[in-house]
Structure 1
Amino acid sequence: MLLRTMAAASIPPPSSTTQTTQRPSPSLSQLPIRTIPGSYGLPLLGPLSDRLDYFWFQGPEKFFKTRVEKYKSTVFRTNIPPTFPFFSSVNPNIVAVLDVKSFSHLFDMELVDKKDVLIGDFRPSLEFYGGVRVGVYLDTTDPKHGKTKSFSMELLKRSSKVWLKELLTNLDTLWEKVESDISKNDASSYIIPLQRCIFNFLSASLTGVNTSVSSDIAENGWKMFNRWLAIQIIPTAKIGIFQPFEEIFLHSWAYPFFLVAGDYKKLYNFINDNAGEVLRLGEDEFGLTRDETIHNLLFILGFNAYGGFSVFLPSLIGRIAGDESGLQERLRSEVRKVCGSGSGSGLNFKTVNEMELVKSVVYETLRLSPPVPLQFARARKDFKITSHDAVFEVKKGELLCGYQPMVMRDANVFDDPEEFKPDRYIGQTGSKLLNYLFWSNGPQTGTPSTANKQCAAKDMVTLTACLIIADLFLRYDSVTGDSGSIKAVVKAK
């Protein structure tokens, strides 16, 4: 797969250490300065019209594509849901940035502020986090951001000692369930077993506590997180149920915490009563209170880790299980060449890192199906934002929004951008494209630190996904299915 050389010459990759976008080279000064096209429409009516397009008449992808075509620009003004007619504190006005070059500005901490912009201008009530503004809602200039980010990175470092063991143990349970369902029903709807697997393995790895210490958490913890997550993000997400009921009942207001207060209290008590070593780490080494430690840990475990994997892994498994191009044979050959044959044989962080095709498939799935499709940032000051075609002036306080599924289909960077190409990131030329793989709130070549907002678990996510693929092809010669069900497996000979 070839990176277009002209694009490579004109789009400087973000720094691998600071995560900031390099300033445009002198040649870029020849680009025309344009006024940002688009508008927000009339008060109430403009946001409502855009909301109906986004959720109902067009859907997110067509919503952005039609406006790119209309304005002949990948940078424009529009409104983004949620738009609550009776809650004026939520401002839907954004500047969309939909190409690799303009999108990269979202990671320059000198230019943008990240406070309270995880879901745009909408932030669920802090009651969802025990009244604590957890790390994801803090800007890098906030002293507590450094404490919470350092805590999360140390947590991941410590968890690496048991990560592989816990993952493989829970994958055993997952695939036993899948095989049992197939034998009884000729198919397995694996989403629920997968979520149980993810929850149990992450709980043990990140908190140091096996869910078996609480029968309620072991049986229902994953459900509690599902409800807690859903209540927060429903106002911003297209569900796809019968309209207009989705608009009337799901997108018209923010939901109150009391609907999931009981679930969250049980999860809080589970951590408070059992994760003493991790809680002492937050208190003694990073200066967090016990309460802050617990709420940040629950967010890392529930929103970042469990929520992210629950969205991403079905896309990955479905992509592989539904492939008819011979990809499975190639993956199986690579995995067994590196690890040998037999379930779990020779599989570890070192060996999985040698699997170029496996890693490329994970990266390509993240490019086409990023677990968090929208990224936001607020202008810290007036500055000029550059797209491939023009330069635009952004004012302090304006909210920037990038839709990643479109950004990472930028034809100026990726050849055949709409196609899934499993080899795209293989070799020296392919590895350069990792500069433009932004799923983790920064480039894949970047390094998470307290100075940026890149996902602390960036590398653990991709390694874990690679381990799951490798484990799959040590167990099976082939799998058949999609992103929701497995219809057949052929055990390894």
Structure 2
Amino acid sequence: MPLNVFVNNWMLAQPSVAPLSPPPPQSSATLKKSTIPGGYGLPVIGPLSDRLNYFWFQGPKKFFKSRIEKYESTVFRTNVPPSFPFFAGVNPNVVAVLDVKSFSHLFDMEIVEKANVLVGDFMPSVKFTGGVRVCAYLDTSEDKHSKIKDFSLDILKRSSTIWVSSMVTSLDKMWDTIESNISTSKDNKASYFIPLQQFLFTFLSRCLLRADTSASPEIEKSGHIMMDKWLALQLLPTISINILQPLEEIFLHSFTYPFWLIKSDYQKLENFVKTQAKDIVSRAQTEFQLTEEEAIHNLIFILGFNAFGGFSIFLPSLLTNLGDQKSKHEELRNEVRQILTQNENLLSFEAVKQMELVNSFVYETLRLNPPVPSQFARARKDFELASHDAVFEVKKGELLCGYQPLVMRDSKIFENPEDFVYNRFTKENGGEELLKYLYWSNGPQSGPHGPSASNKQCAARDTVPLTAALLLAYLFQRYDDITISSGSITALQRAKL
């Protein structure tokens, strides 16, 4: 989640692949029934050992991959952080589901439930959300879930009328700043991360809240920093940020963090939403039967956790991949400019939807660098869980865990799964079929059912990829050449008019 991806972008540029048609799912009736392998070890020792391997000796990807090899199964029992004895009441025992077929069970709301399992069995204090259990922690069976999810979908629908124009205006300011920073720097390069976060906070506040950050100078200057601290204090016990060990284990993973560390900033964000988004808050009350408190704190969560936090992870990954894929820039730029020429050189959702290569580039980034790497769900009842190779019995109450960066490298679905293939999701390469297996959004990217009150799929399943495609299209419209390396812009060449 947020901090671990800020410092980790580990993609390699690779050539394209031949078209691949994923195999049809094998009927569970033809698969052998097996006992779930693995285990949880001795009390205290087993969870602690797994925690150290997860955070320190192996890292999350190797942790799960080594156990797939050990058990010769993509479904097994293990512990995941945080773990006893430092987190009283938290049970680290999970059933890992690490291929596309087993992973898909996490989104079947008939057999799993999602109450309080956003980041596993650990749940940050509700003090971080004003004492309100926000939508992300609610199960679909809870009445409030439907009301808040419908509210979220309504916000996105209404924001579509200003999304592109607000984004372009904010991007102009961001890239003007980056150009200025490059020209005044001693080494002719500039980090894009802080300007990107400032852009995101301003743009998303405008679109989601209809709030003008300039109305509060402190929020305009430091709102993104407040959000970063708020996110970090909730999530640090569960994520690896790869600082000096064992200090990370001792000081970052051994405790929950008190709300009072962020209380003052959170109250400022709360006041910002209450005063600047009062029309949205009022509509939540009159049309969706939410209280003022429920509306305000869910809006902060939507803005800060879902939108700002998610994009703060995803867009740096996108820009890193763009830097790595320098040889593909000409092809991407030509597609952007050709389609924009046909659309009076105006950026719009309609225009970027026609940019097949650009959208494929975005989807491939989501495949390999999903904004939320770990997904959880608890068995609503006893059921049979199928992987590609076997069927397993899962008992009611067991916690399932899927590590998405590995799941999206399922070799039975994706050819050359470790490679970044920029045109993997084009029609020529069978991309439309592959989108059924792209699960970055807590559900598939395509299929008969999209985000709704009856599921937990991200309300912005379609908006997020389109926003990323708009960013790429904007860059290739504005620049003839762009060079990105190690989180910095090292060269920009403005387009010749």
- After TM superposition, the score normalised by the length of structure 2 is 0.94
Aligned counterpart, 1:228: 230
The structure-2 alpha-carbon separation of the partners of 1:169 and 1:240, relative to structure 1 and needing over 3 Å to count, comes to: same
TM-superposed deviation, 1:345: 2.5
Alignment equivalent of 2:318, drawn from 302, 305, 316: 316
Q: CA deviation at 1:165?
A: 1.1
Are positions 1:9 and 2:11 aligned together? no
**TM-superposed deviation, 1:193:** 0.4
Question: Which residue, out of 470, 474, 487, partners 2:473?
Answer: 470
Gaps of 5+ in 2: 1-16
Q: CA–CA distance in 2 between the matches of 1:396 and 1:3?
A: 40
What's 2:13 paired with? none
The answer on whether the counterparts of 1:31 and 1:391 sit within 8 Å (CA) in structure 2 is: yes
Given the superposition, is the C-alpha separation of residues 462 and 483 from structure 1 closer, same or farther in structure 2, using an over 3 Å criterion? farther
Q: Structure 1 unaligned segments of length 5 or more: list them.
A: 12-24
Checking the alignment, whether the CA contact within 8 Å between 1:4 and 1:414 is kept in structure 2 is yes
Aligned to 2:335: 334
> Within the alignment, does 1:124 sit opposite 2:124 as a pair?
yes
Letter of the aligned partner of 1:460 in structure 2?
T
Structure 1 residues 389 and 254: alpha-carbon distance in aligned structure 2, compared to 1, 3 A threshold: same
AA matched with 1:434: L
- The equivalent residue for 2:275 is 273
Which position in structure 2 is the counterpart of 1:43? 43
Q: Distance in 1 between matches of 2:333 and 2:340?
A: 10
User: C-alpha distance in 1, partners of 2:125/2:204?
Assistant: 25
1:162, CA displacement in angstroms?
Answer: 1.1
| Partner of residue 307, structure 2 | 305
1: CA distance between counterparts of 2:45 and 2:19? 43
Aligned twin of 1:382: 382
1:29-40 superposed matches below 5 A: 29-40=29-40
Residue of structure 2 equivalent to 1:407: 407
Deviation at 1:351? 0.5
Following TM superposition, by how much is the alpha carbon of 1:481 offset from its aligned partner in structure 2, in angstroms? 1.2
1:415-443 per-residue CA deviation (whole Å, 9 max, x = no partner) reads: 00001111111016211000000000000
Q: Partner residue of 1:435?
A: 436
Whether the 8 Å contact between 1:411 and 1:417 is mirrored in structure 2 is yes
Q: Which residue of 1 aligns with 2:156?
A: 156
User: Displacement, 1:3?
Assistant: 6.0
One-letter identity of the residue aligned with 1:301: L
How far has the Cα of 1:386 moved from its partner? 0.4
Q: Would the aligned equivalents of 1:315 and 1:483 in 2 still touch at CA under 8 Å? A: no
For 1:49-128, list aligned pairs within 5 A: 49-128=49-128
The alpha carbon displacement at 1:482 in A equals: 2.9
State the alpha-carbon separation in 2 of the partners of residues 461 and 279 from structure 1.
23
Q: How far off is 1:239 after superposition?
A: 1.1
Q: By how many angstroms is 1:2 displaced? A: 5.2
In structure 2, the partner of 1:489 is 492
Cα distance in structure 2, aligned partners of 1:230 and 1:211: 22
CA contact (8 A) 2:164 2:347 kept: no
> Separation in 2 of the partners of 1:267 and 1:483?
32
Question: Whole-Å Cα distance in 2 between the matches of residues 84 and 469 of structure 1?
Answer: 44
Residue of structure 1 equivalent to 2:3: none
Q: Distance in 1 between matches of 2:139 and 2:18?
A: 37
Deviation at residue 150 of structure 1 after TM alignment? 0.3
Per the alignment, residue 393 of structure 1 pairs with: 393
1:182 Cα offset (Å): 1.2
| Equivalent-residue separation in structure 1 for 2:151 and 2:408 (angstroms) | 31
Q: Distance in 1 between matches of 2:398 and 2:409?
A: 25
Backbone CA RMSD of aligned residues: 1.4
Shift of residue 9, structure 1, vs aligned partner: 1.6
Q: How far is the alpha carbon of 1:87 from its aligned partner? A: 3.1
The Cα of 1:233 is off from its aligned counterpart by 0.4
Structure 1 position 341, deviation (Å): 9.8
Q: Is the 8 A contact 2:335 2:355 kept in 1?
A: yes
Partners of 1:2 and 1:434 in 2: CA distance: 16
Superposed displacement of residue 84, structure 1: 4.1
CA contact (8 A) 1:319 1:482 kept: no
When structure 1 is superposed on structure 2, of 426-435 and 355-364 the one drifting more is 426-435
SS of equivalent to 1:458 = coil
Q: What SS is found at the alignment partner of 2:462?
A: helix
Please list, as runs of the form range in 1=range in 2, the aligned pairs for 1:17-32 lying within 5 A after superposition. Answer: 25=27, 28-32=28-32
Alpha-carbon shift at residue 31 of structure 1 (Å): 1.1
**8 Å CA contact retained: 2:51, 2:79:** yes
Q: Which amino acid aligns with 2:52?
A: L
2:199 to 174, 197, 216: 197
Residues 99, 407 of structure 2: 8 Å contact kept: yes
Deviation readout 1:438-485 (Å, 9 max, x if unpaired) = 000000014100010000011110110000000000000121113511
Shift of 1:43: 0.6
Q: 1:211 aligns to what?
A: 213
Q: CA–CA distance in 1 between the matches of 2:385 and 2:293?
A: 40
Residues 349-388 of structure 1 mapped to structure 2, 5 A cutoff: 349-388=349-388
TM-score normalised by L of structure 1? 0.95
Instruction: Return the letter of the residue paired with 1:44.
Output: V
- The answer to whether the 8 Å contact 1:156/1:457 transfers is yes
> For 2:126 and 2:74, how far apart are their aligned partners in 1?
34
Please give the secondary structure, in 2, of the residue aligned with 1:204: helix
For 1:165 and 1:62, the matched residues in 2 are separated by 43
